[in-house]
Structure 1
Amino acid sequence: MTDILRTARLTLRTPDESDIDRLVELAGDFEVSKMLAVVPHPYERRHAVEWLAHIRATDGKDEQAFAIDDRTGLIGAVSFGKLRETPRIGYWLGRPFWGRGYMSEAAHAALTWLFSSFDTDAVEAEAMTENPASLAVLRKLGFEETASGSCASQARGGAMPSLVLRLERNTFLTTTQEATERETEKELVE
Structure 2
Amino acid sequence: MKQRHWPLYGLRIRTPRLELRLPDLELLDELASVAADGVHAPDTMPFTVPWTDGSPADSGRAVFQHVLATVANWSPEKWALSLAVLHEGRVVGRQDVMAKDFAVTGEVSTGSWLGLRYQGRGIGTEMRAAALHLAFAGLGARTAVSSAMTDNPRSLGVSRRLGYLPDGLEAAALRGAPVTLQRLRLERARWEEHRTVDVTLEGLDACRAEFGG
Highest RCO, 1 vs 2 (Cα 8 Å, sep ≥ 6): 2
Give the letter for the 2:35 counterpart.
Answer: L
Aligned mates of 2:75, 2:16 — CA distance in 1: 25
Q: 1:1-190 to 2 correspondence within 5 Å?
A: 1=8, 2-18=10-26, 19=30, 20-27=32-39, 30=42, 34-40=45-51, 41-42=53-54, 44=58, 45-59=60-74, 61=76, 62-83=79-100, 84=102, 85=105, 86-153=107-174, 156=175, 158-176=177-195, 179=196
Aligned-partner Cα distance in 1 for 2:173–2:23: 24
Q: Normalization by structure 1: what TM-score?
A: 0.81
Which secondary structure does the structure 2 equivalent of 1:108 belong to?
helix
Query: Deviation of residue 16 (structure 1)?
Result: 3.4
Identity %: 25
Per-residue Cα deviation, 1:8-63 (whole angstroms, up to 9, x for no partner): 1111111333322223223486467x102334111514312311211322457421
Hey, what's the Cα distance between the residues in 1 that align with 2:49 and 2:62?
A: 11
Per the normalisation by structure 2, the TM-score is 0.73
Partner-residue secondary structure (3-state), 1:55: helix
- Any conservation in 1 of the 2:95–2:127 contact (CA below 8 Å)? yes
User: What SS does the aligned partner of 2:94 have?
Assistant: strand
Q: Is the 8 A contact 1:68 1:76 kept in 2?
A: yes
Shift of 1:138: 0.2
Runs of 4+ in 1 over 6 A off after TM superposition: none
Tell me the SS of whatever aligns to 2:140: coil
Q: SS of the residue aligned with 1:92?
A: strand
User: How far did residue 67 of structure 1 move?
Assistant: 1.0
Distance 1:137 1:31, change over 3 A: farther
* Matched AA of 1:26: G
Q: Alignment RMSD, CA only?
A: 2.3
Unaligned runs of 5+ in 1: 181-190
Please, which runs of 5 or more residues in structure 2 have no aligned partner?
A: 1-7, 198-213
Give the conservation status (yes or no) of the 8 Å contact 1:78–1:110: yes
